[in-house]
Structure 1
């Protein structure tokens, strides 16, 4: 092709040529060709460039290898896309040893005969054959030297830019302020975790691991009503226990399960829909400030029902509670008992009668792939008695570090507001209680239900006693310290102590607010489920060793405590 300036690898019109001092201390003259322009040979003849005039003799540039006289150097042909523009600034410095280093002064490249040639050949003097482009971009071809040694294509050194020291100083100051802000936020979370009022709105929740209304910080309070906030003491229905309660009944699958074609999701929904209620929890006695919404399952005609402990704030007195049945009737209700370790609670509706209890099936009969539906109020009471369908994805799943439950995993949609509602098989039997899900943009179809085998054990004890028999406590309220927070604050993982029950097992020890429990009975503690598992092995009056990080001294301390019944 004919040589054109726009095809040159600089992508611009020629700039003022680089000059060097000659032997006569006179300004170097730009090379000007003879008036007779070179005419290329026909395409079938070899290309032979003319010998430049001998009176042009600048200093010989430093080359890595001296080519033999009159021996052409073979240069690979590289086509440079016209759309790409060469950036002279980019190629006037190289990044070396952590800084930008200006290369050596530019030197003219030599032609095939070992003689220097000007950087901007006159138009028409050196026509470039189509099959060869000796002006290839440096990143495509560099037949002379490495960039850190020599850049033969470099432009003259650009003018020195103004110093950016001021800008760098501003950036450093802003970075320090940002780091300080982040540190303050983390320390605030670490020291205030569960002491603050939780966001107990189960109908509106962000992308957290589990759809607990407290965003995952709670649900692990070792104390119950003794340390929970008292908003409405009239919702404490501890006096509504039934000491002679015969217990929930778990039924086997119907005998005609394999033959009856009536069984299916439609049959299941009709069987359970009247037994599902909506739960509204308010943070004031006048019930004007709705704080939490969830679902529940009726277990008796007289108005006893099951829901999640987190729906009612893990407390008997935190909320004023209303229950709305499937026919739209609203009842006042209170908390008979709850258990944070399994996230279950039993409520009692006022003046309720002739309600339809749900039928409960045996979760031990479940099989992988079995169809299930979830019924409840996703998004709140506005979507009451919604149904979603899926399968049993897994059994006996350890899905929470705040619970001792072995969950049923399902891909049926569980949304905030479904908490406490039933998971039902195709025969209309409740086989689980919806509790949580893994929520996030990278997760889908990972919901978890408490199996009825666990529900029966806990609910039977709550109805009879108002608490779970045989449970012991150490008498603190705490927040789990994860690995990231522990590393950032240079403290061990464990349970950060928010409150100490002065009348509990730790009341007579040096354990104080701000300390971190790291071990119990010789077993390392990093989360709630680990400490629950230790407590499950003991009974009231057992003595165990408590190990904790003492914030005031920065040392680890061990003390013996006597466990007390958790009532």
Structure 2
């Protein structure tokens, strides 16, 4: 988060960060346009009501499979000498309905305890940590799949980096007749993969999110979005090839600022994509997007459109010169990390569907490969991007009730402090709430990220904190030296 074209801040700075303040909910606010984890409702089901676990209740049965009555069986004979008033009948029916509802609710929430828990997101000072919600596609309860377990190939050793890798290269735009969408699809489809990330919450429950990836090299490097792996190297990630072969993937590195991540699988002889130069494209040229909208159930879907704009700036997210490809090709939840392709079957951008605002149609955005190339290659070579800053803490946003107690509008509360962090030396403690950084008001994690992205390792910034240990909610200001982030807090 230093001053360079890739350092777009959060809360209005990082265009790809799912934790956006001025668009939608962020991971604790989820990906506003990507899928994931309880933010986007599951698709309509004619068979029942969708719930947040992407399973459907059966409206025709009661808990335990018992019906309150049997419409096809025999009814007991009535006593001809006994008559029940209509009012009493109605009252008894109401009691029956209430009892059935209470029993059903108790059974349902007993089996889904996370639905009644506070889903507070926890994050590091420079990137979001694994939480129970992130961006990908509709969440799946990892315990709900009753099918036989598929074979998943492992075998990646070490940290996955390769200093000798050529990384990716950008090819010039070909001349001559363009291909049809069908021809482009056939040339590229084997380079498009599914990415499945399992996140385990502190309560032990797991959820699965799905996105898209691009085969970058023949020996198993895969490119995707950082939010698809939930900004973490510790989550379980699986890559599914076009031929349905599944591999356990290692997150080699990711960069929250640019929303890029590199994975490694133990495979050879893959079909890497060909990468092209977005700067050679013109507005109005046809493009296609290939990916897994809605997850692996719709793997390998293709949509087409045109380039709506090049070098598009996105408000303050482009303050450091970051620009994007805008397209009207349909980009849906699950397309994240997949390719935007020209009609010569060259990948010119990485789709990131988090920038679009609610209610807008035909406004998809992609990271230009020409700008992503140096970031991708650094991740392959070293596992991190040089020059990023960190405070060396993990933190979470406070709720409105807690903010009211301290008489503040918001802030981020320190959850842990790393041993090499300068925060503890300066007088900060776990539980302190950061309300200002470098003189700027901090109400969300995005605000804090924005400050870090404006600085470089070695800089000293001020932190204003309020602490439960202070009397009368007094505040104090400390001076903290920033560390270089080599992936330590990006987990």
TM-score normalised to the size of structure 1?
A: 0.54
Do 2:226 and 2:261's aligned partners in 1 also have CA atoms closer than 8 Å?
yes
1:400–1:521 Cα change, 3 Å: closer
SS class of match (1:239): coil
Aligned counterpart, 2:304: 389
Hey, what does 1:415 align to over in structure 2? 332
Q: How does 1:182-221 map to 2 (within 5 A)?
A: 202=35, 206-207=39-40, 221=124
Matches within 5 A, 1:120-159: none
Given the superposition, is the C-alpha separation of residues 399 and 206 from structure 1 closer, same or farther in structure 2, using an over 3 Å criterion? Answer: farther
Q: How far apart are 1:494 and its partner, in Å?
A: 4.7
Superposition map of 1:43-442 within 5 A: 202=35, 206-207=39-40, 221-222=124-125, 239-256=159-176, 260=177, 262-283=178-199, 291-319=208-236, 321-350=237-266, 352-394=267-309, 395-398=311-314, 406-437=323-354, 442=359
Structure with larger Rg: 1
Q: Post-superposition shift, 1:519?
A: 3.5
Structure 1 position 282, deviation (Å): 3.0
Distance 1:360 1:544, change over 3 A: same
Tell me, which stretches of 5 or more residues in structure 2 are unaligned?
1-25, 42-118, 133-153, 487-491
Q: Report the alpha carbon displacement of residue 462 of structure 1 after superposing the two structures with TM.
A: 0.9
In structure 2, C-alpha distance between the alignment counterparts of 1:229 and 1:544, rounded to whole Å: 28
8 Å CA contact retained: 1:363, 1:453: yes
Equivalent position of 1:8 in the other structure: none
Q: Which fold has the larger relative contact order, with Cα–Cα distance below 8 Å and residues 6 or more apart in sequence?
A: 2
Q: Does the C-alpha gap of structure 1 residues 202 and 439 become closer, same or farther in structure 2, counting only changes over 3 Å? A: same
Matching residue of 1:541:
458
Matched-pair contact (CA < 8 Å) for 1:397–1:408: no
Per-residue Cα deviation, 1:519-540 (whole angstroms, up to 9, x for no partner):
4334454555554454345433
- In the alignment, is residue 461 of structure 1 matched against residue 378 of structure 2? yes
CA apart distance, 1:365:
3.2
Q: Deviations over 1:150-191 (max 9, x none)?
A: xxxxxxxxxxxxxxxxxxxxxxxxxxxxxxxxxxxxxxxxxx
Q: Does 1:520 align with 2:440?
A: no
* SS of equivalent to 1:545: strand
Q: CA deviation at 1:504?
A: 1.7
The Cα shift of 1:240 comes to: 1.6
Answer whether contact 2:121 2:131 (CA < 8 A) is retained: no
Cα distance in 2 for residues equivalent to 1:564 and 1:358: 36
CA–CA distance in 1 between the matches of 2:432 and 2:156? Answer: 32
How far is 1:377 from its partner? 0.7
- Asked whether 1:478 is paired with 2:311, we answer no
Over 3 Å counting, the alpha-carbon distance change for 1:432 and 1:555 in structure 2 is farther
Unaligned runs of 5+ in 1: 1-192, 209-215
Q: How much has 1:508 moved relative to structure 2?
A: 2.1
The 3 A distance-change label for structure 1 pair 517 and 289 is closer
1:305, CA displacement in angstroms?
0.6
C-alpha change, 1:436 and 1:465, in structure 2 (3 Å) is same
Do residues 560 (structure 1) and 479 (structure 2) align?
A: yes
Q: CA separation of 1:326/1:495 partners in 2, compared to 1, >3 Å: closer, same or farther?
A: same
Q: Distance in 2 between matches of 1:512 and 1:537?
A: 24
RMSD, aligned α-carbons: 4.1
Offset of 1:409 from its aligned partner? 2.7
Residue 514 of structure 1 deviates from its aligned partner by 4.9
CA contact (8 A) 1:229 1:318 kept: no
**1:8-39 Cα shifts (integer Å, max 9, x gaps):** xxxxxxxxxxxxxxxxxxxxxxxxxxxxxxxx
- Cα distance, 1:275 vs. partner? 0.5
Cα deviation, 1:242-276, whole Å, max 9, x if unaligned, reads 113334212232233xxx1x334333323321100
Distance 2:329 2:401 in 1: 32
Are the aligned partners of 1:279 and 1:293 in contact in 2 as well (CA < 8 Å)?
yes
Partners of 1:264 and 1:484 in 2: CA distance? 57
